[in-house]
Amino acid sequence: MPRPLSHFLKSAILGKTVYWQLLAATMMTGTFGYTQQMRIISVVLFLVASLFADSVAGLKWAPPTGWKTEGARPMRAATYTIPPAAGDTASGECAVYFFGAGQGGSVLENLDRWKGQLVAPGGKPTEAKVTRGTIHGLPLTTMDASGDYTGMGGPTASSKSVQKNYRLLGAIIEGPGGNVFIKCTGPAKTIAASRAAFEQLLNSFDKEK
């Protein structure tokens, strides 16, 4: 016997206004047939996906599947934990920063800052691959660099720890409300395994309608 519509909706979007609205509609119009239930569930799941999209500075995006959304943090629009690759014990992290229109420094200043957080063997400056392009009509600059990472805890950290053999994938999207900065860091193996997910994240950025 098919489960009632309320069972699927409650498990999918418990606590969301959409659930209560559709449940009320069900109660007023009687029990839906199975085919009708499936059609409604398909629509609801689409709406739920849009509810989980993040936005700031006139831009919206959706985190990749498998990345865990963390709680609010100072100066960050979003923070995601990247699951460790096989053999790694530490997770990666991807942070989305927005400091306000015209704030946070220029694109070049941030690229230099990120590069300066990584040190190559022997204490030499690390090499960074920088590319420029567009995504959905928005100017995009990306950076890829590896080395020993000294930026743990961010600029407000009281002491700096060094994480060996890390990789940083960074991106700056010039949005209608200001620059948005995306910075993913973690063990080199974990970040390499998440490169496709990082590209997926960037491709999801678009202007809010």
Count of Cβ atoms closer than 10 Å to residue 93 Cβ: 18
Please identify every stretch of the chain with a pLDDT value under 50, giving residue numbers as ranges.
1-29, 41-52, 156-157
Whole-angstrom distance, CA of residue 50 vs CA of residue 55: 11
Q: Encode burial over 129-160: b for 16+ CB neighbours within 10 A, e otherwise.
A: eeeeeeeeebebbbbbbbbbbbbeeeeeeeee
Residue type, 138: L
Is the Cβ–Cβ distance between 111 and 141 less than 8 Å?
A: yes
All structural domains of the chain with their residue ranges? 5-51, 54-207
| Token pair belonging to 8 | 């699927």
Superfamily of domain 54-207 in the CATH hierarchy: Mog1/PsbP, alpha/beta/alpha sandwich (3.40.1000.10)
Residues in the chain: 209
Among residues 65, 141, 62, 152, the alpha carbon closest in space to that of 105 is found at 141
Q: Nearest-5° angle of CA 84, CA 90, CA 92?
A: 60
Whole-angstrom distance, CA of residue 99 vs CA of residue 93: 19
| Token pair belonging to 111 | 């690229």
The whole-model pTM stands at 0.73
| Token pair belonging to 85 | 């690759």
Q: What is the pLDDT of residue 163?
A: 94
Q: What is the pLDDT of residue 59?
A: 96
Q: What is the pLDDT of residue 51?
A: 43
| Token pair belonging to 173 | 């999207």
Helix axes 5-13, 34-51, angle to 10 degrees: 10
